[in-house]
Amino acid sequence: MGRGDAADEMRLVARIRAGDQQAMSELYDRYSKVVYAVALRVLQDAGGAEDVLQDVFLQLWRNPDAFDASRGSLAAWLAVITRHRAIDRIRKRKPETDIEECVIAGGPDLRDETERSLLVEKARGVLAEMNPAQRAALEMAYFQGLTHTEIAEKTGEPLGTIKTRIRSGLQQLRAKLAG
Amino acid sequence: MKTHEQFGEDLALFALGELANSERQEMEEHLQTCAACRRELQALRGDLGLLGLTSTGPQPPARSKERLMRAIAAEPRGVSAPAPAELPRRALWWAWAPTLAAAAFFVFGIGMWRMNRGMQDQLAELTNRNLDQSVQLESLHDQMRLLTSPDAVHVSLNPEKMPKQPTGTAIFSPKQKRMMFMASNLPAVPEGKAYELWIIPMQGAPIPAGVFKPDEHGNAMMMDHEMPPGVEARAFAVTVEKEEGSDKPTSPIMLMGATG
């Protein structure tokens, strides 16, 4: 099995559970770019993004059991945790999401590096084709951490419309990726 | 009080961390009792993870990795290095003390190095075992998902030109005190009635072990059921009883199988 496939990822997580610092170094090499990219996109601040990057990997080192390797993809889980941590930082609040409670489900495809790249490309395509107002609502909620009330105020749209746009944007993403 | 559908509509906002405190608390309480919403939430997080992965940007600065590895080295887990011991101060007349201490520490160091190697080997073995178990667990999850899926079609194979006969299989572990039961080709039960599974013990009267109704295809399943404590099963049997279950069998035995 080559580097970057699902079994390889599970092996890496198992080594981290056993306290192998070298495994952590390999994991960092593999995923730091994506964690940094998410943190930077949310925070728009390189220093803050570095702090979040540090925090996310350190949390994984301290509590590797929080990630269930038999289920979702580590890359997707790290992206979700990173976004949460970055938004907590914007809102200057204590972390609201316990990483142990952040159980993620995803197709096995996401755990394979090649398959993941294809899916991510496809997801970018779905976002690009999305109705601009819908994409904007989803991006404001996801990457800027704005609440639906804040988005409604910013865009002048009714609250219900914003909720629907966010929800249907995600549904569209899932449906088109599954199709 | 919100309905399940209303909670379902707010799940995406909850996954995004968008719900206000009171709504979030309500959702957390609902999630504790609703497996369907928990599954959907996990799937939504998968979608959100993928959305996050669409981000592109530069490599983080090299110092970030150095900072992380330093922090990790300061918090070792697993095989940890022995804490440095302080050398006690001795009287000046014992001039050999430093040499002896150095020799003792050298021997101690060799011992620790060997022990460390042994522990690393054990750790590697445990890591591999853990990985194997994770893979096995994943495979079991898949099997359970198939067995319990509402759209799963059960096909029993019988000799050709023979009418389908009701069959049942009980699987139990006396050690784990757990059992499961599967049946197929069961005729539908009359209104207000259900099938009841009985454990026939080595001694004494049959013990009720759960009631069940077959689906429209005549299949039924009772997953991971607890065995009554201290019971040694001689056989299992199925009868038709009232749907809330009976204390003792009141109709002829429909299916029976001995454990031996």
Kindly state the DSSP code that residue B54 receives in the 8-state scheme.
T
- Verify whether the Cβ–Cβ distance B123 to A18 is below 8 Å: yes
Task: Name the residue among A161, A175, A166, A177 with its Cα closest to residue A138.
Answer: A166
Task: Name the residue among B202, B198, B205 with its Cα closest to residue B234.
Answer: B202
Closest approach of A104 to chain B, Cα-based (Å): 5
Is residue B194 predicted with pLDDT exceeding 60? Answer: yes
Kindly state the DSSP code that residue A122 receives in the 8-state scheme.
H
In a domain, B195, yes or no: yes
- Quote the radius of gyration of chain A (alpha carbons, Å): 17
In a domain, B81, yes or no: no
Angle at A173 between CA A170 and CA A175, to 5 degrees: 110
- Alpha-carbon gap, residue B238 to B255, rounded angstroms: 5
Could you tell me the two tokens for A87? Answer: 């938004």
Closest approach of A1 to chain B, Cα-based (Å): 15
Q: Return the exposure string of B20-46: e unless at least 16 CB atoms fall within 10 Å of the residue's CB, then b.
A: eeeebebbeebbeebeebbebbbbbbb
Per-state percent for chain B, helix, strand, coil, to nearest 5: 40, 20, 40
Q: What is the CATH number of the domain that holds B221?
A: 2.60.40.10
Average pLDDT over residues B55-68: 93
Predicted model pTM: 0.57
Average pLDDT over residues A98-114: 63
Query: How many domains is chain B partitioned into structurally?
Result: 2
SS3 B226: strand
- Alpha-carbon gap, residue A12 to A108, rounded angstroms: 16
Is residue B228 predicted with pLDDT exceeding 90? Answer: no
pLDDT value of residue A1: 40
Beta strands across the sheet bearing B167-173: B167-173, B178-184, B220-226
In a domain, B93, yes or no: no
Nearest residue on chain B to A175, judged by CA atoms? B47
- Spell out which residues of chain B touch residue A75, defining contact as CB-CB under 8 Å: 49, 53
In a domain, B39, yes or no: yes
Could you tell me the two tokens for B250? Answer: 């009141």
In a domain, B153, yes or no: no
SS3 A141: helix
CB A104 within 8 A of CB A77: yes
Q: Chain A window 72-101: which residues touch B at a Cβ cutoff of 8 Å? A: 72-73, 75-80, 82-84, 87, 96-97
State which amino acid sits at residue A123. Answer: A
- Verify whether the Cβ–Cβ distance B12 to A170 is below 8 Å: yes
SS3 A119: helix
- Alpha-carbon gap, residue B102 to B190, rounded angstroms: 87
Closest approach of A11 to chain B, Cα-based (Å): 6
- Spell out which residues of chain B touch residue A37, defining contact as CB-CB under 8 Å: 55-57
Could you tell me the two tokens for B11? Answer: 């799940």
| Domains, chain A, ordered by start | 1-107 (1.10.1740.10)
Average pLDDT over residues B63-79: 86
Closest approach of A173 to chain B, Cα-based (Å): 8
Of A29, A69, A83, the CB nearest to B134: A69
- Verify whether the Cβ–Cβ distance A170 to B47 is below 8 Å: yes
In a domain, B186, yes or no: yes
Instruction: Please indicate if any CB of chain A lies within 8 Å of the CB of B65.
Output: yes
- Verify whether the Cβ–Cβ distance B51 to A138 is below 8 Å: yes
- Model confidence pLDDT, tens digit, residues B76-111: 875 433 333 333 444 444 455 566 667 676 677 777
Instruction: Please indicate if any CB of chain A lies within 8 Å of the CB of B144.
Output: no
Mean pLDDT taken over chain B: 79
Reported residue count of chain A is 179
In a domain, B117, yes or no: no
Q: Is B218 exposed, middle or buried (0-12, 13-18, 19+ CB in 10 A)?
A: middle
Residues 6+ apart with CB under 8 A from A1: A7, A8
pLDDT value of residue B153: 64
Instruction: Please indicate if any CB of chain B lies within 8 Å of the CB of A122.
Output: no
- Verify whether the Cβ–Cβ distance B68 to A28 is below 8 Å: yes
- Verify whether the Cβ–Cβ distance B42 to A18 is below 8 Å: no
- Alpha-carbon gap, residue A34 to A53, rounded angstroms: 10
In a domain, B133, yes or no: no
Q: Confidence class of residue B241 from pLDDT cuts 50, 70 and 90? A: very high
Q: What percent of chain B lies above the pLDDT cut of 90?
A: 20
Q: Confidence class of residue A26 from pLDDT cuts 50, 70 and 90? A: very high
Instruction: Please indicate if any CB of chain B lies within 8 Å of the CB of A49.
Output: yes
Q: Supply the range of the domain harboring residue B32.
A: 4-52
Q: Which residue has the higher pLDDT, B56 or A94?
A: B56
